[in-house]
Amino acid sequence: MPILALDTATLVSSVALATNDTLLAEITLQTKKTHSELLMPHIVKLLDMAEVGKSDIKAVAVSIGPGSFTGLRIGLSTAKTLAYALNIPLVGVPTLSAMAYGCPVPGVILAPMLDAQKGNVYQALFEWQQGELKEIEPAIVIHVDDALEKLSQLDRPVILLGESAVMYREKIKQIGKNLIIAAPHIIIQRASSVAGLGHKLIAQGIQHDVMNLEPVYVRRSEAEVLWERRHGITV
């Protein structure tokens, strides 16, 4: 069952097409161009390269956050439109879970970290247990210094994934200890991981409503915070 997967949670734009056991095609690009410029042309090119017609796609999986507010909205709106137009299932895949899913290393803690602005990161912790990915701690917003200090105290090696692992590479290296920065082809989020986890969710009977699926932001946007300040609203 070919599944089309999208990941636009950060500056990385990634689309993939995969069955439950084969990655058919993937386009992953880090660029300054916006997702609105790249996403649909990449989907068209992906299907053409894989020689797969729109009618052959059986589901759409999309990364739903946390991450860039704009990127998440573009990815989700595109996924919803495709699922609705093709009348196929839609499944939302947590971004941090998908990143950890793409690094199947037992015996370590997986710590995907994405930029949450102002020195903060989105972070969740995972580990592989008997071939299954398990969430140890759910997604939170935490200052990067606090996150790294906490991770350095763990009694196992910690593999750091995500754009914040790149942003704070030197800080991580200075701490050393048990912190390991993932390899370049693993450190970024990829739609192939969204597809893999999407297949597992669908096999478990998990699907989401096209009209009601929303991004997982974890925190409010800067625009919302500024609006509330200007209007004297406290939360």
Over residues 140-154, the pLDDT tens digits come to 999 999 999 999 999
* Domain match, 20 and 135 both: no
Return the residue matching tokens 């602005």.
117
What pLDDT, in 10s, does the model give residues 12-43? 999 999 999 999 999 999 877 788 888 999 99
What's the pLDDT at 99? 98
User: Residue range 86-99: average pLDDT?
Assistant: 98
Q: Is residue 113 situated within a structural domain?
A: yes
* Domain match, 90 and 205 both: yes
Q: Which residues contact 187 (CB under 8 A, 6 or more apart)?
A: 160, 161, 162, 165, 166, 181
Do 23 and 195 contact (CB within 8 A), yes or no? Answer: yes
Do 56 and 87 contact (CB within 8 A), yes or no? Answer: no
**Confidence band (pLDDT; 50, 70, 90) for 219?**
low
* Domain match, 138 and 152 both: yes
pTM: 0.91
* Domain match, 11 and 58 both: yes
User: Residue range 45-60: average pLDDT?
Assistant: 96
- Inform me whether the pLDDT recorded for 221 exceeds 50: no
Choose the weakest-confidence range: 34-38, 167-171, 173-177, 230-234.
230-234
Choose the weakest-confidence range: 37-51, 167-181, 219-233.
219-233
* Domain match, 64 and 129 both: no
* Domain match, 64 and 169 both: no
CATH number at residue 43: 3.30.420.40
Question: What backbone phi and psi angles, to 5 degrees, belong to 56?
Answer: -85, -15
35 lies in which domain range?
Answer: 3-95+189-218
Number of structural domains (the chain) is 2
- Inform me whether the pLDDT recorded for 71 exceeds 90: yes
Q: Is residue 111 situated within a structural domain?
A: yes
Phi-psi region of 148 (alpha: psi -120 to 50; beta: other; left: phi over 0): alpha
Q: Is residue 232 situated within a structural domain?
A: no
- Inform me whether the pLDDT recorded for 191 exceeds 50: yes
Quick one: what percent of the chain has pLDDT higher than 70? 93
* Domain match, 39 and 70 both: yes
Compute the distance between CA of residue 201 and CA of residue 132 in angstroms, rounded to an integer.
12
* Domain match, 136 and 155 both: yes
Q: Is residue 230 situated within a structural domain?
A: no
Q: Which two tokens mark 222?
A: 């800067």
